[in-house]
Amino acid sequence: MSGNGDAAATAEKNSPKMRVIRVGTRKSQLARIQTDTVVAMLKALYPGLQFEIIAMSTTGDKILDTALSKIGEKSLFTKELEHALERNEVDLVVHSLKDLPTVLPPGFTIGAICKRENPCDAVVFHPKFVGKTLETLPERSVVGTSSLRRAAQLKRKFPHLEFKSIRGNLNTRLRKLDELQEFSAIILATAGLQRMGWQNRVGQILHPEECLYAVGQGALGVEVRAKDQDILDLVGVLHDPETLLRCIAERAFLRHLEGGCSVPVAVHTTMKDGQLYLTGGVWSLDGSDSMQETMQATIHVPAQHEDGPEDDPQLVGITARNIPRGPQLAAENLGISVARLLLNKGAKNILDVARQLNDAH
């Protein structure tokens, strides 16, 4: 290496950027795989940097005998990780975006949304029912899901089936399916199964016509301290423009409806020929009552590194300074418009009843 090269290497080594970047994650195997994926992307972009992964358990990981919708806590899988961020014990945290509430606690922001995997839900069948579909499962077969959203939509579609809560990480849920004779099938996110390398267990993918997916499903979000400009700059290059805009629309829809995991709310977004399409829906807990609307907005998908304004406030908890503001606002407005349309048609009543019933049981 030439003298100049040595000097550059020394300068890089001595620069503040050379500090070890500490990355927080949940302890589950899937969370670790997702975090490793993000760290690998960052290492490729910043070969001189070092990364340390710090794994911890969250409330949602510890309370395994209660349905998620009953725990009454918005940040089930994020709170402990956010405490570590707040105490400067970690510099960034990798989450499944669908676990992040649409309103983050003060001082935090989502600094990157990575390219989305398949956002649809998948059906994994008990070995004795391999080759079946939900439609062809025997009468009164029990299907496991921890999601009110999935259960409400599928009860409506497949009235011959029974739906029962199943909790635990992916490994635990698959073990319960295979070893207990309780469930004929379980519903999981396709993206999680793909990341775990378990594509061979997918017996059926539920397309949006059959089951709309959760807001942000299939995407990874990187949460950081809102004022940590160095880390915001570091992770901001991971933003995938199309995924970002779709997820801004989805999160704006959910926030305007004031939905969470205690009510069945679901979405489907696509981007085609400069148009962003958002379908949003709400359901009663038993799926008997539902409402769905689709709207579109003209959105130019920007190149990754166009400069946006420097002092952007967050949109639905997301900071994306390297993506122009116009498309982000158009995506947010689309989400709000679909939510308003549903509310004007009576969606609030469906959601209020669902909340009350969920709280009562």
DSSP string, 210-275: T--B-TTTT-EEEEEETT-HHHHHHHHTT--HHHHHHHHHHHHHHHHHT--TTS-EEEEEEEETTE
Which of 222, 199, 331 lies closest to 267 in space, CA to CA?
Answer: 331
Among the listed residues 91, 99, 121, 240, the single catalytic one is: 99
Category of 266 on φ-ψ map: left (φ > 0), alpha (ψ -120 to 50) or beta: beta
CA separation, residue 156 to residues 135, 198, 230, 349 (Å):
12, 28, 49, 18
273 is catalytic: no
Residue 146: both structure tokens together: 């921890």
Cβ atoms of 34 and 174 within 8 Å: the answer is no
Distance of CA 335 to the CA centre of its chain: 16
**Residues 26, 70, 336, CA angle at the centre, nearest 5°?**
80
DSSP string, 276-331: EEEEEEEE-TTSSSEEEEEEEEE-----TT----TTPPPBTTB--TTS-HHHHHHH
SS3 13: helix
Cβ atoms of 91 and 100 within 8 Å: the answer is no
Torsion sign across C-alpha atoms 216, 187, 281, 273: positive
Non-local (6+) Cβ contacts of 85 within 8 A are: 24, 91, 92, 93, 108, 223, 224, 225
Integer Cα distance of 143 and 162 in angstroms: 6
Active site residues: 99
